[in-house]
Amino acid sequence: MLTERHLEIFVALAEEEHFGTAAQRVGITQPPLSQGLRRLEALLGVRLFDRERGVALTEEGTLLLPHARRALTALRELRETGAREHAGGRRLRLGLAPEVPASLAAGVAAAPVRAGERARIGMVTAPTAALLGDVAAGRLDIAVVRHPSVLHGLAAGRVILLPTWLLAPAGRAGAGGTPTPRLPVAVRPRAEAPAAHDLFVDTLASRGRRVETVVVSDERAGLALVAAGQAVLVTADETLTAPGIERRPTTDPPLPLRLRVAWDPRRPDADRTAETARLLEDTLTRKVAP
C-alpha cells in the first residue's frame, strides 16, 4: 500500500540527492530509508533513481516528483483544515525531545492553556531528527528540539541553555562535575541528534580527555548503568538519581542541554504558530532562570 511516508522519503531523496541527508530530513536512519524507497519502487513497478549516477532521478522519477509534492501538500492542508474546524477549539500538536525533563515538559504543555488559549494539547516525545521531520511534514505544529540541528527550512527561536548534572557512581565524579576518564559516558544514539551529539562529545574532548561512550535507549537505562558502576551520565533532570549515585553540576567543561523551539514558517497559520512558539520559549526561559 502506498503511504505518505513513501512519498516523504521519495521527495526528500529527490531534493537532497544524498541518502544520509535525506534520512536525517525525514527523521530516520539510512537503512529504513533505502527499504522504503525499494518498497515504493516495487509498488509502482519502476526505478525512480539511477544509482549508477549517484542519486539521480530516472525519467519515471522526474514524472512522479511534482505529483508527490502536490499529494504531500494536500495531505498537510487537509490536516490543518480538520484541526481548525474541530468543535473543541484549536488543536495544538507539540513534540519534545526526550532529554527535556518531565517537569519542564509539563510546564510547556500547560503554557498555552494558562495563557488563555482555547486549545486541545497533544504531545509526543521523540528524537530531535524525527521531531523536525514531523514538523516539516505537518504532523506536529511545534517541537522543542536539541541544538544544534539541521532545520531544513524550519524556523527556530533563540537557544536556551539548561544546566546539567553529572551522575556517577559514588566517589567516581571528578572535580567540577568532570566525567571520570575510567568510565564511558552514557549517550543516546547519535542518529537522533547528530550535530548536538557531536558538540557534546567534542566539548568533552576539548580538554584533552579520551572520550568513550556507551549508547543507551533513554536516561533510565543510563541511570541503571551508573548504578551498576559501568558508566556516567549527564542529565538536565534535577530529580534523576538513585542510591549509590553522586550528583555534581557540570562546570568544567560546561555541558548545558541546548534547546530551541522549532516550527514551519510556510504553514497558512504560521504567524499564530510563531506566537505560540514564543510563548513556549518564554516558559522554558523562566524555568531555567535562577
Q: Which fold has domain 89-160+258-288?
A: D-Maltodextrin-Binding Protein; domain 2 (3.40.190)
- Per-residue pLDDT at 62 exceeds 80: yes
CATH 3.40.190.10 domain locations along the chain: 89-160+258-288, 164-255
Q: In angstroms, how far is CA 87 from the centroid of its own chain?
A: 31
- Per-residue pLDDT at 181 exceeds 90: no
Q: Which residues contact 271 (CB under 8 A, 6 or more apart)?
A: none
- Per-residue pLDDT at 87 exceeds 50: no
Q: What is the pLDDT of residue 170?
A: 87
- 290 pLDDT tier (thresholds 50, 70, 90): very low
Q: Which fold has domain 164-255?
A: D-Maltodextrin-Binding Protein; domain 2 (3.40.190)
Query: What average pLDDT score do residues 46-72 get?
Result: 89
Task: Please give the mean pLDDT across all residues of the chain.
Answer: 87
Query: What average pLDDT score do residues 49-61 get?
Result: 85
Query: What average pLDDT score do residues 75-89 get?
Result: 64
Q: What is the pLDDT of residue 27?
A: 85
Q: Tell me how far apart the alpha carbons of residues 88 and 166 are, in angstroms, rounded to a whole number.
A: 44
What pLDDT digit, counting tens, does each position of 208-244 carry? 667 899 999 999 999 999 999 999 999 999 999 999 9
Pick the CATH number of 4-82 from 1.10.10.10, 3.40.50.2000, 3.30.70.60, 1.10.150.120: 1.10.10.10
Whether omega for the bond prior to residue 290 falls within 30 degrees of 0, making it cis, is: no
Query: What average pLDDT score do residues 55-61 get?
Result: 90
Q: What is the pLDDT of residue 82?
A: 61
For 234, list phi and psi in degrees, rounded to 5. Answer: -105, 125
Is the pLDDT higher at 54 or at 95? 95
Question: What is the value of pTM for the model shown?
Answer: 0.69
For 98, list phi and psi in degrees, rounded to 5. Answer: -65, -15
What pLDDT digit, counting tens, does each position of 116-153 carry? 777 788 899 999 999 999 999 999 999 999 999 999 89
How many percent of the chain have pLDDT more than 90? Answer: 57
Q: What is the pLDDT of residue 89?
A: 59
Q: What is the pLDDT of residue 254?
A: 86
- Per-residue pLDDT at 256 exceeds 50: yes
CATH 1.10.10.10 domain locations along the chain: 4-82
CB atoms within 10 A of CB 192: 21
Q: Tell me how far apart the alpha carbons of residues 151 and 174 are, in angstroms, rounded to a whole number.
A: 36
Is the pLDDT higher at 2 or at 44? 44
- Per-residue pLDDT at 78 exceeds 80: no
